């Protein structure tokens, strides 16, 4: 083989290697390999995408507590409309006044974190420990009136509050965000006081 033929063969080999390398790079740019082109969507809860001071436990607590509070307000509104005992009605109004602003605050956090509200899905894995009422129980309460409704409200709201306290205790153990931790502690303090009040009301009926 002449020196000219050798140089030509070498040039062809170099060109082939360059083409292979370019093809591999294009494949990576298209997202077929690597993760540099990965995109995220609203509602993802991967810790890496949350603010530095927020973890997955904070997100799960807030997502779960929003529908929990919403049901408490639904229960309270039934008593306000159809209850009999002024003391029980006043308690229901107190619950509404406390939990309404907390719902607004939690929804603001979720929006700030770019997380969609999870509804009841936010409490998956609680195995009924959250104290939420079933649809059948809510139907029964909506049909009750007067003193019967008052008693049903007290009995079920005690259970409901106990579930919220358990959820808040998990947040205190596993959460990291100072504002969410403060809310969890406030829920424990406020709702335990209301449990004591409701138990006293039941003893008087």
30 and 114 share a domain? no
59 and 99 share a domain? yes
86 and 151 share a domain? yes
19 and 90 share a domain? no
What per-residue confidence (pLDDT) applies to 128?
64
* Residue numbers of the domain that contains 10: 1-39
What per-residue confidence (pLDDT) applies to 91?
99
What per-residue confidence (pLDDT) applies to 101?
98
What per-residue confidence (pLDDT) applies to 49?
85
What per-residue confidence (pLDDT) applies to 35?
36
What per-residue confidence (pLDDT) applies to 55?
97
What per-residue confidence (pLDDT) applies to 118?
61
Q: What is the CATH number of the domain that holds 77?
A: 1.20.1260.10
The CA distance from 187 to 184, in Å, is 5
31 and 59 share a domain? no
Domain count for the chain, please give it.
2
Low-confidence ranges of the chain (pLDDT < 70): 1-48, 118-128
84 touches 144 (CB < 8 A): no
């Amino acid at each position: 083989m002449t020196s000219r033929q050798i140089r030509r063969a070498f040039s062809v080999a170099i060109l082939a290697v360059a083409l292979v390398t370019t093809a591999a790079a294009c494949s990576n740019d298209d997202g077929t390999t690597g993760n540099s082109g990965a995109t995220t969507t609203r509602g993802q809860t991967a810790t890496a995408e949350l603010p530095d001071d927020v973890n997955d436990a904070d997100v799960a607590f807030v997502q779960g507590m929003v529908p929990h509070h919403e049901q408490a307000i639904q229960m309270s509104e039934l008593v306000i409309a159809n209850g009999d005992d002024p003391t029980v009605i006043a308690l229901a109004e107190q619950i509404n006044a406390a939990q309404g602003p907390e719902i607004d605050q939690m929804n603001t956090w979720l929006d700030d974190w770019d997380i969609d509200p999870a509804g009841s899905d936010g409490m998956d894995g609680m195995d009924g420990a959250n104290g939420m009422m079933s649809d059948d129980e809510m139907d029964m309460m909506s049909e009750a009136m007067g003193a019967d409704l008052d008693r049903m409200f007290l009995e079920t709201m005690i259970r409901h509050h106990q579930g919220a306290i358990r959820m808040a205790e998990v947040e205190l153990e596993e959460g990291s965000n100072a504002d969410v931790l403060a809310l969890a502690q406030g829920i424990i303090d406020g709702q335990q006081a209301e449990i004591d009040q409701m138990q006293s009301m039941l003893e008087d009926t």
